[in-house]
Amino acid sequence: MTPPTPSPRDNQPKRTVSIIGTGSYVPEKVLSNADLEKLVETSDEWITTRTGIKERRIAAEGENTSDLAAKAALAAMDNAGITADEIDLILVATVTPDMFFPSTACFVQTKIGAKKAACFDVSAACSGFLYAIEIAQQFITSHTYDTILVIGAEKLSSIVDWTDRNTCVLFGDGAGAAILQHRSGGHGVISTFMGSNGELADILQIPGGASRSPVTKDNADQRLNTIKMNGKETYKHAITSMLDAANRALADANLKSTDLACIIPHQANLRIIEAIASRMDLPMERFVINLDRYGNTSAAAVAIALDEANRTGRMQVGDYVLLIVFGGGLTWASSVIQW
Ligand code: ACO
């Protein structure tokens, strides 16, 4: 057999990948715990003590996931100082795409005018943003692309069962974005880890509305096209999986938890974050938290928190930052970044 012809990429050294800008956007409308008391049998006291959530944002009529995503993207481009024509690839992590197809990334492309970009969506539920960061990193490391826009965006208000108090109090809408590029100088994504367990698909899912159970009047009446969650099981797996992901990314980066300037965890429940902090032996002040204001925004959660940490100076150049996510699939992931 003749050996394959070497590609021009074969001789190039792997490149380090940096997050050179971040952005986020949340809709204007605030839905407070007091507002939810009027919708379902719940209380501000129950929601606050069980989850830490005080309010969440809800997209306006006609405001779609791609609108939230495009606003976050424009803020990230501004923060990075790049123009739309520099973007080679757009990745949108979402469980609430505008449509099954085209991808939400294609809608974002048009909205921001990134004409030369290739576009696709990433489906990994709440873990999608870190999965997309890892995909972007591989494309840049391998010299395939130079500049990649990664977005986590959700309009979860469109898939929430507003009659189910077990879930409707937890979720909100929003988007966060990051621009990734090669930068020399030692900083960037140092290590990443991704895990999945499809055997636990049934503890957190939207069972209807797709090809297995297309929309019919009957399954719409049963609200099968909304989020179904076994909260207790999800809670348990969230803690163990996020801790495992954190430990693996830290070990791979050759770092200890005490080396971290801050940790940006998935924003599902304050008690989950407290359990992780306690098991990592770290003070809560080290964790970036915004779930009190936005609830769980799935793939957007860590992306929004990363942008807020960036803009409020929580991360200084050279700091080590750990991102950890968990979601339906089950899926989970982590990433150590030197800012
Ligand atoms: N208001 C008042 N009472 C409520 C509410 C509510 N909103 N929701 C549930 N209850 C009741 C329940 O019916 C139950 O009553 P019962 O004992 O009479 O049956 C009681 O409160 C206790 O319910 P639990 O399920 O035991 O409550 P728990 O302390 O486990 O908290 C919660 C529930 C907040 C959902 C928690 O389990 C959790 O956060 N789970 C993890 C969610 C998560 O991490 N998701 C991440 C991924 S999301 C994604 O991928 C899209």
Structural domain includes residue 9: no
For residue 16, the model assigns a pLDDT of: 85
Q: Return d(Cα 310, Cα 112) in angstroms, integer.
A: 22
Hey, whose CA ends up nearest to atom 2 of ligand 1?
Answer: 42
Q: Looking at the structure, tell me whether residues 111 and 53 fall in a common domain.
A: yes
Indicate the residue among 159, 186, 213 that finishes a domain.
Answer: 186
Q: For residues 162 and 179, give the distance between their C-alpha atoms in angstroms, rounded to a whole number.
A: 35
Contact criterion met (CB below 8 Å) for 329 and 125: yes
Q: Which of 136, 161, 186 is the last residue of a domain?
A: 186
- Per the prediction, the chain carries an average pLDDT of 95
Same domain for 48 and 73? yes
Q: What are phi and psi of 115, to 5 degrees?
A: -60, -35
Residue 182 C-alpha to ligand 1 middle, in angstroms?
42
Q: What is the pLDDT of residues 71-111, one digit of tens each?
A: 999 999 999 999 999 999 999 999 999 999 999 999 999 99
152 close to 277: Cβ distance less than 8 angstroms: no
pLDDT attached to residue 8:
56
Residue-wise pLDDT tens digits, 186-219? 678 999 999 999 999 999 999 999 999 998 998 8
213 & 325 share domain: yes
Same domain, 112 and 261: no
In a domain, 2, yes or no: no
Tokens standing for residue 234: 């999800």
Q: Is 123 exposed, middle or buried (0-12, 13-18, 19+ CB in 10 A)?
A: middle
Q: Are 172 and 296 in contact (CB under 8 A)?
A: yes
Q: What is the mean pLDDT of residues 18-42?
A: 97
Whether 296 is catalytic is yes
pLDDT of residue 324: 98
Domain match, 211 and 300 both: yes
Which residues have CB under 6 Å of ligand 1? 42, 46-47, 50-51, 125-126, 165-166, 169, 204, 231-232, 234-235, 238, 268-269, 272, 296, 298, 326-328
Out of 79, 269, 290, 296, the active site residue is: 296
Annotation marks residue 187 as catalytic:
no
- Structure-token pair, residue 63: 């405001």
- For the question of whether the overall pTM of this predicted structure is more than 0.75, the answer is yes
**Which atom of ligand 1 lies at the shortest distance from residue 36's CA?**
7
Q: Is the pLDDT of residue 14 over 80?
A: no
Domain that holds residue 231: 189-338
Cis before 214? omega within 30? no
Domains: count for the chain: 2
What is the pLDDT, as a whole number, of residue 100?
96
**What are 180's strand-pairing partners?**
19, 148
> Which residue among 126, 237, 269, 310 is the active-site one?
126
| Res. 146: pLDDT tops 90 | yes
> Rounded to an integer, what distance in angstroms lies between the CA atom of residue 106 and that of residue 93?
12
| Whether residue 167 sits in one domain with residue 66 | yes
Q: Decide if 13 is inside a domain.
A: no
**By alpha-carbon position, which residue is closest to atom 37 of ligand 1?**
231
Q: If you ran DSSP here, which 8-state letter would residue 125 be given?
A: G
166 CA distance to ligand 1 middle (Å):
5
Final residue of a structural domain among 186, 209, 231: 186
- For atom 3 of ligand 1, the residue with the nearest CA is 42
Task: State the pLDDT at residue 89.
Answer: 98
CATH number at residue 77: 3.40.47.10
Cα(26) to centroid of ligand 1, in Å?
25
DSSP character at residue 23? E
126 assigned to active site: yes
